């Protein structure tokens, strides 16, 4: 079969971004992997470094484990923390897991009346073979009440 030559990023038979040997792109890694967002959240009982590290690392390990994500598959992670958490950045806690080469960003959660206190929210962008509907969002602690419609819960 003749090799189809095209520019990077052109779409032939569903393939985006690679050279293929046929019009159907069978076996093309660009077709089989997509970037997906995994949501998660956890709460702290007290504003301490030890608890921030324990809760954030447990949450991330659960998010990655249940979604079959290796650290090499993680594109970036975005964290928010409520205004009552001052002990450390959630990203700093995540770095204790060995995420040194993954872009991490933190922001302050909106201070909404009646909002959940001492809460860290996470959105991890990962490359995966799984369809969006198969992504399992993880909520721990009091954060389980945030999105009962989409989340799985643990600790």
The DSSP string of 80-117 is EE-TT--S--HHHHHHTTT-TTS-EEEEEPP--TTPPS
- What is the reported pLDDT for 79? 99
Structure-token match 């659960």, residue found: 62
Structure-token match 């009440």, residue found: 145
- Cα gap 21→11, rounded to integer Å: 13
For residue 119, what is the enclosing H or E element?
A: strand 119-128
- What is the reported pLDDT for 151? 62
Domain ranges, ordered by start, for the chain: 1-32, 33-153
Which residues are annotated as catalytic?
Answer: 39, 95, 106, 109, 121, 139, 147
Indicate the CATH number of 33-153 among 3.30.1330.40, 3.90.1010.10, 3.40.1550.10, 3.40.50.11400.
Answer: 3.30.1330.40
For residue 57, what is the enclosing H or E element?
A: helix 49-66
Averaged pLDDT, groups of 10, the chain, 155 residues long: 41 44 46 89 98 98 96 97 98 96 97 95 96 94 86 64
Nearest to 90 by CA among 115, 54, 61, 131: 54
Q: How many CB atoms lie within 10 A of CB 117?
A: 12
Inter-residue contact 42 to 59 (CB < 8 Å): yes
pTM of the complete model: 0.78
Question: What is the β-pairing status of strands 151-153 and 137-139?
Answer: parallel
């Amino acid at each position: 079969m003749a090799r189809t030559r095209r520019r990077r990023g052109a779409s032939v038979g569903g393939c985006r971004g690679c050279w293929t040997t046929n019009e159907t792109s069978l076996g093309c890694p660009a077709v089989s992997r997509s970037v997906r967002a995994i949501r998660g959240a956890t709460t702290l009982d007290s504003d301490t470094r030890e608890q921030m590290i324990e809760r954030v690392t447990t949450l991330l390990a659960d998010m990655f484990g249940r979604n079959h994500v290796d650290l090499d598959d993680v594109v970036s992670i975005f964290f928010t923390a409520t205004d009552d958490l001052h002990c450390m950045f959630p990203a700093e806690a995540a770095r204790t897991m060995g995420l040194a080469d993954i872009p991490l960003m933190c922001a302050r959660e909106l201070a909404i009346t009646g909002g959940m206190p001492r809460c860290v929210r996470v959105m991890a962008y990962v490359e995966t073979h799984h369809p969006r509907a198969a992504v399992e969002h993880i909520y721990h602690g009091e954060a389980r009440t945030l999105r009962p419609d989409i989340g799985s819960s643990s600790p």
